[in-house]
């Protein structure tokens, strides 16, 4: 089971992050808050998506949650880091299926799109899902990794 979870947001997601950190801790997760640590309307989502991505690739956390206004900017930025598989998920099916099929390790959520209760359901679906052990999933993930490697050359 996933235990170490990173959480990050820009100003667009900050109020939702503040609300959900105590809940995640109460659920038994070791939460690493990667910022923002204050509400700064001038902060930039790539900084926090990068912090979450680095925490994933360094092994500091097993999975990460990033909030911005829409989830889109956070997803775009986090996916620039090799080894990150991030997606915007605003429905529970995607939140667990993207782990089960695609080994998603960062969920991106738009705090201007959904409320706290839906966010709790998405995060629960994300954190309790596991990659399925089927040959087709591993084959597809190898193809994704090959695209990443080719692009790094
Ligand atoms: C910030 O105003 C907003 O642009 C950002 O949080 C995010 O929605 C970008 O995708």
Q: What sign has the CA pseudo-torsion 64, 68, 71, 77?
A: negative
- How far apart (Å, rounded) are the C-alpha atoms in residues 116 and 17? 9
What's the gap in Å between 82 CA and the centre of ligand 1? 22
Mean pLDDT, rounded, for 112-134 = 98
User: What pLDDT does residue 153 have?
Assistant: 86
Q: How many helices (H) does the chain have, and how many strands (E)?
A: 6, 5
**What is the value of pTM for the model shown?**
0.98
Q: Which domains does the chain have, with CATH numbers?
A: 4-152 (3.40.1400.10)
Q: Is 68 helix (H, G, I), strand (E, B) or coil?
A: strand
pLDDT band at 146, cuts 50/70/90?
Answer: very high
| pLDDT per residue as tens digits for the range 84-99 | 999 999 999 999 999 9
| pLDDT per residue as tens digits for the range 2-33 | 799 999 999 999 999 999 999 999 999 999 99
Residue of 39, 49, 52, 70 to mutate, ligand 1, most atoms within 8 A of C-beta: 70
| pLDDT per residue as tens digits for the range 21-76 | 999 999 999 999 999 999 999 999 999 999 999 999 999 999 999 999 999 999 99
Q: Is 108 a catalytic residue?
A: no
pLDDT band at 111, cuts 50/70/90?
Answer: very high
User: What pLDDT does residue 2 have?
Assistant: 75
């Amino acid at each position: 089971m996933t235990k170490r979870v990173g959480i990050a947001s820009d100003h667009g997601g900050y109020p939702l992050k503040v609300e959900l950190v105590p809940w995640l801790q109460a659920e038994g997760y070791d939460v690493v808050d990667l910022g923002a640590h204050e509400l700064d309307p001038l902060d930039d989502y790539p900084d926090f998506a990068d912090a979450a991505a680095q925490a994933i690739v360094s092994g500091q956390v097993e999975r990460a949650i990033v909030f911005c206004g829409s989830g889109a900017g956070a997803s775009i930025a986090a996916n620039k880091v090799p080894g990150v598989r991030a997606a915007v998920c605003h429905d529970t099916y995607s939140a667990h299926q993207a782990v089960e099929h695609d080994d998603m390790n960062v969920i991106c959520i738009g705090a201007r799109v959904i409320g706290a209760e839906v966010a709790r359901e998405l995060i629960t679906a994300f954190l309790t899902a596991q990659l399925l052990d089927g040959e087709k999933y591993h084959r597809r993930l190898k193809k994704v990794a090959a695209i990443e490697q080719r692009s790094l050359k």
